[in-house]
Structure 1
Amino acid sequence: MEKKIFYSVFLFSFFILNCTPLFAQITELYDGKSYKKIFVETDNFGASYLDILEESFPLAKPDSVKFSILNDLAYYWHTRNLTKAMEFTKTGLALTKTSNDTLWEGRFQITEAAILLRKEKLDQAEKVLESAKCKVMEKDLAHLNTQLGYVYERRGKLGKAADYALEALRLGEKLNDNRAIAMAYSDLSNLFWKQSKFETGLEYGLKSLLLYEERRINDLDYDFTLFVVGSNYLSLGRHEEALNYLRHSIAIGERYGFYNNLSDAYMVMLDTYAYLNEFEKAEEAGSNALKYAELLDNNFLTMRSWLSIGNVKNLQGKYTSAIDCLEKSITIATDDFGDAFFLSQAYEALGKAHAGNHQYKEAYTALAKYDAYKAAVFTAEADNRTSLLRTEFDVAGKEVKIRSQEALISKQRTTQNLIIVIAGLLLLLLLISYKAIQNKLKANKMLEKQNKEKEFLLKEIHHRVKNNLEIVSSLLSLQAARIDDVYMLSTIQESQHRVQSMGMIHQKLYIGKNLAAVEMKSYFEQLGEYIIDAFAANEQVHLKVEMQNLELDVDLAIPIGLIVNELFTNSLKYAFPKGRKGKIRISLVEEKGKLKLEVMDNGIGKQLDTNTQGTGFGTQLVELLTKQLDGKMILKINQGTTVSIQFEPGKAA
């Protein structure tokens, strides 16, 4: 109760602080968001992650996540602490019965059977597995059959064990479950090794490792397969290769605490070093094998560890020590031990030790028991079954290969047909495209010819308009020559300037590249020079056009040209009296999406004043054109006159 209160306070404090990833991970585990199945979705975890799982599973939602976490914990701990593993399993079984979840009850039973196997309770394990068969899904049956295979392997019934391995393999292939296939290959590798068919055992072991390595998950069964492959290499006399696989197995086992695999691997490593006459390393490996067997409290591993140590003592000629070790091994293997294979090996080694110690009677007794156990394990039925199994695999493999090749040929034919169809379509498309391109080229040539004709016509029109405006200007000039009235003469000359400003626009259009737009900077320069020349003010007034090149539509250029003509003319007429010298600046720029026209002089500052000289027609014309452009005019008189007009670029006369 105190522990629960403390834990609740702990969680609340961390919620307030909101600064620890551990708390976030635990709370997310409650709804399964960050939970990853160990050795299925991840192998990147340490003891802290297991602590998190253990603390958080009571609050996990939904029940399926809670059961999965519990089963993970049971599965993990059954490799290092059978009592703790069984506690998690019993908790899971109780919860599944309460919630009437038969699926997860069956899955927990498979885990329970794995624990019972390590406790040497083979009959109970088989009974639990048979009960689970009707509860779990088809995808769980491969694992279930693997566990049943272990039961019969431990009983020394290798043929029956091979049948279950084959069934697991068929299920894995049916469901395309590479992990189940890898596990079946691993079990077959172990069974072939026990039947002294080492080449075949190695073949299936390596096939298993390839499938496991594709998953990129270092789990218990991958670790076990490394040990099995190492055993086959050792039996084939390939000692260095055996050591490489065993070291890999040990590295994974020590990373995750797989005590059973560690004990197995160290036993084979002991035998390897013994064959290499490296007895110090062999004795160290034997001590480690025994240590991990005792940590797991597993009689099967402890018995085999003493057996391996006894074999090394025999090789060293230390027969008395060998007898002690082998008798310990046999004593641990009680009547319900079940594994006749290793008992046969223990009695064979004991017989050799007694013979080496000149105790021939004891040696005879031990070897007689060896013969009895060997006969029970290596029966003709078991040997025939494994041989038949090998044949079945070879035939099945050839059939699969034939089907695979037939499928490949069919796929290649389909691909070839598809390529032919696509090639035909591409050829047709190419022909259509060629025809379309030809038609397009013809149309483009026709359009190009029409455009040139239209361009010529437009240039001719602008040329004629310009000529007509020059005629009007000339007529006005002739008319002015016959007028003596100064006021009327000024009016006609101003009209002549206006006509000339429009004529310049059309001149630029027909001599330029663009028939619809006028480059305004050069236009202002040409217009200014013309007006200055008309007023004979070349020595008096200096013009400066301060702007970048800017093209405007002809409909916009004409009213702007007229405005500039009026403002420029007014500056020449009124800003520089009595031969006063000065400057006139013109600019047209685009600012923030608007056009800004500015005409500035440094004269006396009196132009456009309606109370001064003139009729005021020029001022009215500027105001009218500004309004037509939807613009805004600003007049500034300060050491000269500045007229600014802002208007939209799209507005035209």
Structure 2
Amino acid sequence: MRKAFFLTVFLIPFGLLAQIVEKNGFFQYQEVFVETDDFQADYLDQLENTLLKISEKDTLRLEIINDLGYYYHTRNLTKALSIIEGGLLEAREMGDSYWEGHLMVSQGAILLRMEELDPAEMVLKEAIDKIPESESWLLYTNLGYVYERKGLLGEAFSYASKVLEIGETYGDPKAVAMAYSDMSNLFWKQGKFEDALAFGLKSVELFEKRGLKDLDYDFTLHLVGQFYVDLGEPEKALDFFQRSVVLGERYGFYNNLSDSFIALVNLQSTLGDFTGAKKSGLEALRYAELLENEFMIMRSYLALGKASNTSGDHLDAVGYLESGLANIKSNFGDKFYLSLVFDEISKAHEGIGDFKNALEATRRSNQLRRDVFSDEAEEKIAILQTEMEVSQKENTIKLQQAELAKNRLMQAFYLTLAIVAVVFLFLLYRVFLRKKKYSQLLEKRNKEKEYLLKEIHHRVKNNLETISSLLSLQIASIDSLEFKQMLEETYTRVQSMGMIHLSLYKEGNLKQVEMKKFFEELGSFILDTFDAEDRVTFEIDMDSIELDVDLAIPIGLIVNELISNSLKYAFPKKSVGKISVSLQERDGCLFLNVSDDGIGMEMDSPSKGTGFGKELINLLTRQLDGKMNFYNESGTSFSFEFILNKAA
């Protein structure tokens, strides 16, 4: 997480717009899209105006510069880069490597969106050592984008996986949502639309649980809409595009808005809504021009030209497409999108009967496609072929060496094998004879030990029953209610331990107690002791589970105390109710829960009675190195967690 600052906001007539206030000479900042999204599109103006009042050498200033520059890249890339570069100078002058690292991540993100892929990669990698791992997910997200734009989808996916690992390790739902969003985009580029949709919807769900509608949530909505288009579900796609547009317009996310409106052009053209398509295309162009991004401007004109061709307005298509070409520099590098432009120009000229220009545009498009695909494909095939030949030669050499070694060893192996086999069989026979004799001796001793252990449990059970009988006689002769209650509690505890030893004696398993059956007998006994069988229901929600006696006794005493307490205090005036017990084993831990639907209690309230039961529960929990939690909602509930290897 980022460094913490005081959080203060103030209201103005149009809603919560300002995130910074000055109070007693100190500025207090509520981070945008981290602590709130309750503001409007002018939040960047608010940040920029307040920044002028904050003196240099102030760490808060660096934080605001980073947020201002990062979110300005959604509106004006040149200005965003200028803001971040100024912040980097200040951070370096202050010697603040923490904020220098975060500002470098923002710088890399902006360079990436300016199509400066190599500088972006260099800056992002330099920032790795300056940022704590728990906050590095945005860095690795943008590194993944760099490799995605370079066409290295495997490397991009590995960075998305790293972001997911960081998010899960540090419990950061934003990082996990971003990882799923990026993975969905990568699946989509591979044509795996169903996988893309599944990951995209998981990302949207996590973003919505987080409760902050930010830039990345907006972009993910656009992605999911595109997935639905490719899966032939335009109605669902339209809903996601419209939600993305509403969010982008609220916060001024020009790049996302241009993307969403371009997608809407294609969707509306497919549905035959050419008026809506033209309107969406002009909106895409408007936001692209505000962003001053020639790539988005060209794509907007391409979408308009394509929609015009589809509707039969070929003259309009020529105008849009030539405008797209006029708005890019001569060294524009994305030949793939240029080939799409010339494809549409060819269709437009053919539609108006200008076959000469149509042929020329087709030639240009084919040449661009050869530049993109043929050269790249040839280079990639050559690399793969070289790697394959090298791999084959290495494998051939290894096979030959292995064959030679095999021939040299084979004769010695077969010669020694017979000798070893004879010696082994002789030794095996001797071992068999010894083990047989030893097993017979062990079996005899085990039977003797089992008999003695069974006898011990039987005598312990009898002794505990004797103690219970003495306590019962003593209780009957005592007039003091307080002392009588203490003896009754002791009586139930002794009976609880006696039931465990009875279980060991009767069932024949001398080391382990079947807990479900034990809880049933214990609950029935305590209800009968308190004469509550007709008004209190006892439920056990668990599967059969066996525990060692050293673990079963303290857990049995804990359950005994909690059931007794519920019967004494949870149902006053003999009211009806329910007591529930469950014991589960998961991932090497035991989870015990005892609850009732009675009147409830306060954990810190003074103990009723002697308080010994509460102390006994705490003592037994510590003895088993466990953790106890108390809940007081719709009754009383105690939950315990014991680690099995420690508890045992």
TM-score by length of 2: 0.53
Aligned twin of 1:444: 479
User: For the structure 1 residues 264 and 181, does the alpha-carbon distance in structure 2 shift closer, same or farther, using more than 3 Å as the test?
Assistant: same
Matched, 1:147 2:142: yes
Matched, 1:215 2:213: no
User: For the structure 1 residues 187 and 53, does the alpha-carbon distance in structure 2 shift closer, same or farther, using more than 3 Å as the test?
Assistant: same
- Deviation larger for 145-154 or 292-301: 145-154
Match of 1:27, SS?
strand
CA–CA distance in 2 between the matches of 1:346 and 1:433? 94
Alignment deviations for residues 102-153 of structure 1 (CA, whole Å, 9 cap, x no partner):
2211211111222223333333323322322232222343212222232333
Counterpart amino acid of 1:178? P
Equivalent in 48, 63, 77 of residue 54 of structure 1: 48
Equivalent in 80, 83, 86 of residue 85 of structure 1: 80
CA–CA distance in 2 between the matches of 1:268 and 1:256? 20
Shift of 1:445: 8.5
Counterpart amino acid of 2:236? E
8 Å contact from structure 2 (residues 17, 38) kept in 1: no
User: For the structure 1 residues 31 and 329, does the alpha-carbon distance in structure 2 shift closer, same or farther, using more than 3 Å as the test?
Assistant: same
Equivalent in 358, 361, 371 of residue 359 of structure 2: 361
8 Å contact from structure 1 (residues 30, 56) kept in 2: no
User: For the structure 1 residues 48 and 151, does the alpha-carbon distance in structure 2 shift closer, same or farther, using more than 3 Å as the test?
Assistant: closer
Counterpart amino acid of 1:230? G
CA–CA distance in 2 between the matches of 1:84 and 1:430? 86
| 1:31-180 to 2 correspondences below 5 Å | 31=26, 34-46=28-40, 50-57=44-51, 58-59=53-54, 63-180=58-175
CA–CA distance in 2 between the matches of 1:349 and 1:162? 33
Figure out how many residues of one structure are paired with residues of the other and give that number: 385
Counterpart amino acid of 2:31? K
8 Å contact from structure 1 (residues 150, 161) kept in 2: yes
Aligned twin of 1:349: 344
Match of 1:324, SS?
helix
Alignment deviations for residues 378-401 of structure 1 (CA, whole Å, 9 cap, x no partner):
96979xx9xxxxxxxxxxxxxxxx
CA–CA distance in 2 between the matches of 1:339 and 1:197? 24
CA–CA distance in 2 between the matches of 1:266 and 1:96? 38
8 Å contact from structure 1 (residues 120, 337) kept in 2: no
Match of 1:444, SS?
coil
Shift of 1:31: 4.6
8 Å contact from structure 2 (residues 218, 248) kept in 1: yes
TM-score by length of 1: 0.52
Shift of 1:175: 3.5
User: For the structure 1 residues 27 and 48, does the alpha-carbon distance in structure 2 shift closer, same or farther, using more than 3 Å as the test?
Assistant: farther
Aligned twin of 1:263: 258
Counterpart amino acid of 2:479? N
CA–CA distance in 2 between the matches of 1:445 and 1:29? 66
8 Å contact from structure 1 (residues 188, 204) kept in 2: yes
Larger RCO, structure (CA 8 Å, separation 6 or more): 1
Shift of 1:269: 1.0
| 1:309-388 to 2 correspondences below 5 Å | 309-334=304-329, 336-358=331-353, 359=355, 360-369=358-367, 371-372=369-370, 375=373
CA–CA distance in 2 between the matches of 1:197 and 1:162? 14
Shift of 1:160: 4.2
* Structure 1 vs Structure 2 CA RMSD: 3.9
CA–CA distance in 2 between the matches of 1:198 and 1:447? 72
Shift of 1:179: 1.6
CA–CA distance in 2 between the matches of 1:24 and 1:319? 50
8 Å contact from structure 2 (residues 258, 284) kept in 1: yes
CA–CA distance in 2 between the matches of 1:99 and 1:248? 42
Aligned twin of 1:513: none
Match of 1:134, SS?
helix
CA–CA distance in 1 between the matches of 2:482 and 2:237? 83
Matched, 1:252 2:250: no
CA–CA distance in 2 between the matches of 1:377 and 1:230? 33
Shift of 1:350: 3.4
CA–CA distance in 2 between the matches of 1:337 and 1:298? 12
| 1:494-505 to 2 correspondences below 5 Å | none
Counterpart amino acid of 1:45? F
CA–CA distance in 1 between the matches of 2:25 and 2:466? 65
Aligned twin of 1:273: 268
8 Å contact from structure 1 (residues 165, 188) kept in 2: yes
8 Å contact from structure 1 (residues 345, 370) kept in 2: no
Match of 1:59, SS?
coil
Match of 1:40, SS?
coil
Shift of 1:80: 1.3
8 Å contact from structure 1 (residues 31, 62) kept in 2: no
Shift of 1:282: 0.8
Alignment deviations for residues 566-615 of structure 1 (CA, whole Å, 9 cap, x no partner):
xxxxxxxxxxxxxxxxxxxxxxxxxxxxxxxxxxxxxxxxxxxxxxxxxx
8 Å contact from structure 1 (residues 155, 340) kept in 2: no
Matched, 1:183 2:181: no
Shift of 1:158: 4.0
User: For the structure 1 residues 431 and 290, does the alpha-carbon distance in structure 2 shift closer, same or farther, using more than 3 Å as the test?
Assistant: farther
Aligned twin of 1:600: none
- Consecutive unaligned residues of structure 1, counting only runs of 5 or more, are 1-20, 386-427, 449-653
Aligned twin of 1:495: none
8 Å contact from structure 1 (residues 166, 184) kept in 2: yes
User: For the structure 1 residues 353 and 26, does the alpha-carbon distance in structure 2 shift closer, same or farther, using more than 3 Å as the test?
Assistant: same
User: For the structure 1 residues 271 and 49, does the alpha-carbon distance in structure 2 shift closer, same or farther, using more than 3 Å as the test?
Assistant: closer
Matched, 1:226 2:261: no
User: For the structure 1 residues 362 and 188, does the alpha-carbon distance in structure 2 shift closer, same or farther, using more than 3 Å as the test?
Assistant: farther
User: For the structure 1 residues 262 and 447, does the alpha-carbon distance in structure 2 shift closer, same or farther, using more than 3 Å as the test?
Assistant: closer
8 Å contact from structure 1 (residues 333, 343) kept in 2: no
- Deviation larger for 105-114 or 222-231: 105-114
CA–CA distance in 2 between the matches of 1:375 and 1:222? 33
Match of 2:60, SS?
helix
Match of 1:251, SS?
helix
CA–CA distance in 1 between the matches of 2:292 and 2:68? 18
Aligned twin of 2:514: none
Alignment deviations for residues 483-541 of structure 1 (CA, whole Å, 9 cap, x no partner):
xxxxxxxxxxxxxxxxxxxxxxxxxxxxxxxxxxxxxxxxxxxxxxxxxxxxxxxxxxx
Shift of 1:265: 0.6
Alignment deviations for residues 224-277 of structure 1 (CA, whole Å, 9 cap, x no partner):
000111111112221110110011101110110001111111111111111110
Shift of 1:74: 1.3
User: For the structure 1 residues 325 and 151, does the alpha-carbon distance in structure 2 shift closer, same or farther, using more than 3 Å as the test?
Assistant: farther
Shift of 1:22: 10
CA–CA distance in 2 between the matches of 1:209 and 1:447? 61
Which structure has the bigger radius of gyration? 1
Counterpart amino acid of 2:303? S
User: For the structure 1 residues 195 and 308, does the alpha-carbon distance in structure 2 shift closer, same or farther, using more than 3 Å as the test?
Assistant: farther
- Aligned-pair identity in percent equals 42
Match of 1:193, SS?
helix
Shift of 1:200: 2.2
CA–CA distance in 2 between the matches of 1:123 and 1:346? 26
Match of 2:36, SS?
coil
8 Å contact from structure 1 (residues 113, 125) kept in 2: yes
Alignment deviations for residues 312-334 of structure 1 (CA, whole Å, 9 cap, x no partner):
01111222322332333345454
| 1:387-426 to 2 correspondences below 5 Å | none
